[in-house]
Structure 1
Amino acid sequence: MTTDSTGKGRPTPKRKDAQAKVKVSSLSPVVTKEQKRAQKLASRQDRVNSRAAYLRGDESAMPLRDRGPERRFVRNYVDARRSIGEYFLPIIFIVLVLTLIQVPAVQFAAIALMYAVLLVAIIDGVFLGRKIKRIINSKYPTSSTKGLAMYAWLRSTQMRRLRAPHPQTKVGDVVN
């Protein structure tokens, strides 16, 4: 065995320094805590601004499922009318309270009310979907009506205050 007396010319690094060097990614720059905090704050502000634009109805801030003139028309058409579906959630709450009453007739009536409202909401959704498809076919003859009936029905079952994007029309307005 021969021994090399020249050595490597530098001290052996500490283990934690060697491991830290391996952990640092070459793709992301070294960031200080202040830079991370500022970046987090900026990203939060971007999300808040994007959400506000979405709720306003800004087309560029909407997801693909809500974009396009057909979807805007459907939203405005649904928002310009009242439907039983938007009252379903409050009615369910009333049914819940009524089922707590220990009178079988009241409990039965509450459950019957719930199913009746559900049935009427479904029937309303079917008629709404047919009407939406008919109007879209005449107004936008080249566009597809796929998914618009369900989109309209789901929006009509949400309480008006909770709809996103927020309604742009008032109840009773004529939508063109």
Structure 2
Amino acid sequence: MFRRRSPEDEQAPRASTALLDEQQRDPQAPKGRPTPKRSEAQSARRKSATTPTDRKSAAKQAREARRVDLAKQREALAGGDERYLPARDKGPVRRFVRDYVDSRYRVAEFFLPLAVVILILSIVGSLQNLSLLLWLVVIVGIVVDSIVTVVLLRRQLRTRFPDKNTKGTTAYALMRSLQMRRLRLPKPQVGRGSNR
């Protein structure tokens, strides 16, 4: 405990520290480098222009980033670029559902124009009974077409994507079929009558 060290014992710690100095360290590692002085760290932080110093400039930078992201999403919705689509439209399953809905005429996509015609007919006194009958025919047609679409779509999804998550795809298809084809986003990528 209190004895004198031999020359061999003194050489062992020096050799291990020399060996440690020779080893290369990861520059991102938290240990193995001296902690910078506070003044150095603060000047490095000031030099990095990525973080704004006041609240106004931070809000302005966030608005600008959000505007760029929304512009990319708008372009993707118009062109169908998968990288920038919103999360609800991404993936091969959602693409198939969009193409499936867009490949056929759907009764629901004509609902808005038909509703305008029916409302005009209901204003005319002598055609009110006809307008009520047309409402009934349109609603029954939409319900029947939606049921057929859901059944056939589920069958197609089971055969084409047996191991993928298809949760929410039928609601996605029904919401897309309710929109007029010209107003659908992402824009239709297939023509009517294509084999889907």
CA distance in 1, matches of 2:104, 2:183: 15
CA deviations over 1:72-107 (Å, ceiling 9, x no partner): 00100110111111111100011111111122xx11
Aligned to 2:91: 68
Q: 1:101 aligns with which of 124, 134, 138?
A: 124
CA deviations over 1:56-86 (Å, ceiling 9, x no partner): 2222222222221111001001101111111
Q: What is the one-letter code of the residue matched to 2:155?
A: R
Aligned to 2:152: 131
Indicate the percent of aligned positions where both proteins have the same amino acid. Answer: 35
Aligned to 1:92: 115
CA distance in 1, matches of 2:195, 2:175: 21
CA distance in 1, matches of 2:166, 2:68: 36
Q: In the alignment, does 2:165 pair up with 1:144?
A: yes
Contact kept, 8 Å, 1:129 with 1:148, in 2: the verdict is no
Aligned to 2:45: none
Aligned to 1:51: 74
Distance 1:40 1:148, change over 3 A: closer
Q: What is the one-letter code of the residue matched to 2:166?
A: T
Misfit runs of 4+, over 4 Å: 35-43
SS of the aligned residue for 1:112 comes to helix
TM-score (norm 2): 0.65
CA distance in 2, matches of 1:43, 1:32: 15
Distance 1:131 1:47, change over 3 A: same
Q: Over aligned residue pairs, what C-alpha RMSD do you find?
A: 2.4
Distance 1:144 1:102, change over 3 A: same
Q: What is the one-letter code of the residue matched to 2:117?
A: I
Contact kept, 8 Å, 2:72 with 2:84, in 1: the verdict is no
CA-CA distance at 1:109 after TM superposition: 1.1
CA-CA distance at 1:158 after TM superposition: 1.1
Q: Higher mean Cα deviation, 41-50 or 83-92?
A: 41-50
How many residues align structurally? 146
Aligned to 1:83: 106
Aligned to 2:53: 29
SS of the aligned residue for 2:189 comes to coil
Higher Rg of the two aligned structures: 2
CA-CA distance at 1:45 after TM superposition: 4.4
Q: 1:163 aligns with which of 178, 181, 184?
A: 184
Distance 1:141 1:91, change over 3 A: same
Contact kept, 8 Å, 1:86 with 1:158, in 2: the verdict is yes
